[in-house]
Amino acid sequence: MLNLSFQSEVDRSTPAEWSSMLDDFFDANIYQTWSYGSVYWGRKNLSHLVIRRNSDVVGMAQLRIIRPTPLNFGIAYLRWGPICHRRGRELDADAAACMARALHDEYVGRRGLVLKILPNAFAGSARGALFQSVFSDFVHEPIPPANRYRTFVLDLAPPLGELRKRLDKKWRNQLSRAEKNELKVMTGSGTDQYAVFCQMYQEMRKRKAFETTVDIETFGKIQEDLPLTHRMQVLICEQKGVPVAGLVASAMGDSAIYLLGATSDEGLSAKGAYLLQWTLIQWLKEHGIRWYDLGGINPERNPGVYHFKSGMSGADLSHIPSFDAHSSGVSSTIVRTILATYSAVKSAGMPRVGRASQ
């Protein structure tokens, strides 16, 4: 049962109210926006949980509800949540503990679903330690190294001059070359800028013929649906009026995530990707963003991207394991089997939204 000083609300928020509440949290992120959930998963498949202490919202979680058959089996999936770090405050252990209990009570206890939580928390961090504590009664699912979220995270607190000094020497030299190449960077969040990026991305994909799970058209629909203050930032690098490199990132709360990148052959020789990243870092600092997540790394599968991102000298971090809970071992096994089959069939013929950093 919830602590009496906390109250839970389920599926009472409107999209506008949800967006407004997200603005009050440091750990808000694009995967917890109503727009991402409704476009990617379908609005009818969403559920929204809010925890209040008196009238003060202290926790939020948007979940995807999956019922793959007419039978009473299913899964409640929480990605990059729950949200529970209010702006201007320390992490609230009591609020996090009540959120863990409320999630279990609603989705496992009342609905009989398997609950799977993929938290946005890094191993070794205060947030990671707190989540591992409050979700200690859940099953901690080990993640194979190939599937775990590993990334570089830049601390943007130091002055720009210090951040530039921390860049790898070769990376800094490439940035200096880019700054001498008469490149122009435009920053915006409109659909026009995103359309320019998409054209460049498609040309790059055709040229390189690489496989990807990213559906940039879906990202475009999310961009159109997002409130203006939550829209992704699109940076386009031009050389003599021709777009040669592009970058898409999301900045919410106190953190930003690098989502998409594209470069033409001309952009490679002009070192446009280096200038784009440095321009974004400056923009993030100007807008009060503290942390910059470079969007995932995999040294074995994509050594080129790993090498590029490592040159920005961020901390090499990995997410903590996911948490699972269920009321019945039998139902859990059935659900997992059905979902694994459903996912395999779907992924064989349909693109999925993910990250791409080419």
- Is 33 contained in some domain? yes
341 within some domain: no
Does 167 lie in the same domain as 101?
no
> Tokens in use for 28?
């808000």
User: Total domain count for the chain?
Assistant: 2
Q: What are phi and psi of 316, to 5 degrees?
A: -80, 110
Report yes or no on 214 lying in a domain. Answer: yes
DSSP string, 62-92: EEEEE--SSSS--EEEEES--B--BTTS---
**Is residue 263 scored above 50 in pLDDT?**
yes
Task: Give φ, ψ of 319 to 5 degrees.
Answer: -65, 150
What pLDDT, on the 0 to 100 scale, is given for residue 267? 73
The pairs formed by 35-44 with CB atoms below 8 angstroms and a separation of 24 or more are 35/222, 35/225, 35/226, 35/227, 35/230, 36/222, 36/226, 37/62, 37/64, 38/225, 39/218, 39/221, 39/222, 39/225, 40/218, 40/222, 40/353
Task: Give the span between the Cα atoms of 204 and 130, in whole angstroms.
Answer: 42
| 284-331 pLDDT tens trace | 999 999 999 999 999 998 899 999 999 999 999 999 999 999 886 545
pLDDT band at 100 (very low <50, low <70, confident <90, very high): very high
Residues 59 and 183 in one domain: no
Cβ distance 81 to 253 under 8 Å? no
Spatial distance between the Cα atoms of 348 and 333, rounded to a whole number of angstroms? 23
What does the pLDDT average to over 19-38? Answer: 98
pLDDT of residue 270: 87
pLDDT number for residue 113:
94
> Strand pairing partners for 118?
79
If asked whether residues 118 and 158 sit together in one domain, one would say no
Give the torsion sign (CA, 295, 301, 304, 308): positive
pLDDT of amino acid 148: 85
What digits encode the pLDDT tens for the residues 122-134? 999 999 999 999 9
Q: Are residues 260 and 131 located together in one domain of the fold?
A: no
Q: Which two tokens stand for residue 357?
A: 């950093």
**Structure token digits, residue 323:** 């948490």
- Tell me, yes or no, whether 333 lies in a domain: no
Query: Does the structure show a pLDDT above 60 at 356?
Result: no
Residues 6+ apart with CB under 8 A from 5: 53, 54
- The pair of structure tokens assigned to 189 is 């969040």
The CATH number of the domain holding residue 287 is: 3.40.630.30
CB 114 within 8 A of CB 74: yes
210 or 51: which leads in pLDDT: 51
Paired sense of beta strands 291-293 and 139-141, if any: unpaired
Mean local confidence (pLDDT), 227-253: 95
Same domain? For 139 and 82 the reply is yes
Per-residue pLDDT at 141: 77
More confident residue, 68 or 344: 68
pLDDT tens per residue, range 169-213: 999 999 999 999 989 999 999 988 999 999 889 888 877 766 666
Query: Which domain, by its residues, includes 63?
Result: 6-149+320-327
State mean pLDDT over 105-125.
Answer: 95
pLDDT band at 280 (very low <50, low <70, confident <90, very high): very high
Q: Where are the beta strands (DSSP E) in 177-254?
A: 183-188, 233-239, 242-252
Same domain flag for 25 and 139: yes
Mean pLDDT of 97-110: 96
Q: Tell me, yes or no, whether 257 lies in a domain.
A: yes
Q: What is the mean pLDDT of residues 264-285?
A: 91
Residues 231 and 270 in one domain: yes
83 lies in the same domain as 230: no
Residue 344 has pLDDT above 80, yes or no: no
43 and 121 assigned to the same domain: yes
CA–CA–CA angle 329, 333, 338 (5° rounding): 150
Question: Tens digits of per-residue pLDDT, 132-151?
Answer: 999 999 998 777 777 789 99
**Residue 310, number of CB atoms within 10 A of its CB:** 16
Query: Terminus-to-terminus CA distance in the chain, angstroms?
Result: 47
Residue 172 lies in a domain: yes
Whether 356 is covered by a domain: the verdict is no
pLDDT at res. 212: 63
Determine the Cα–Cα distance for residues 288 and 255; give it in Å rounded to an integer: 9
Rounded to whole angstroms, how far apart are CA atoms 203 and 201?
5
Sign of CA dihedral 325, 89, 15, 222: negative
d(CA 263, CA 236): 10
Q: What would the two tokens of residue 303 be?
A: 């050594």
Q: Are residues 259 and 292 in the same domain?
A: yes
Say whether pLDDT at 352 is over 50: no
Tell me if 336 is assigned to some domain: no
Q: Report the share of the chain in percent with pLDDT over 90.
A: 75
Distance CA 263, CA 205 (A): 10
Average pLDDT in the 242-255 region? Answer: 96
Measured distance CA(30)–CA(251) in Å, rounded: 8
The pLDDT assigned to 268 comes to: 78
Are both 216 and 248 inside the same structural domain? yes
pLDDT band at 96 (very low <50, low <70, confident <90, very high): very high
The pTM assigned to this predicted structure is 0.90
Q: In the prediction, which pLDDT does 350 show? A: 36
Same domain, 313 and 176: yes
What is the average pLDDT score of the chain?
Answer: 89
Token digits of residue 320: 């903590």
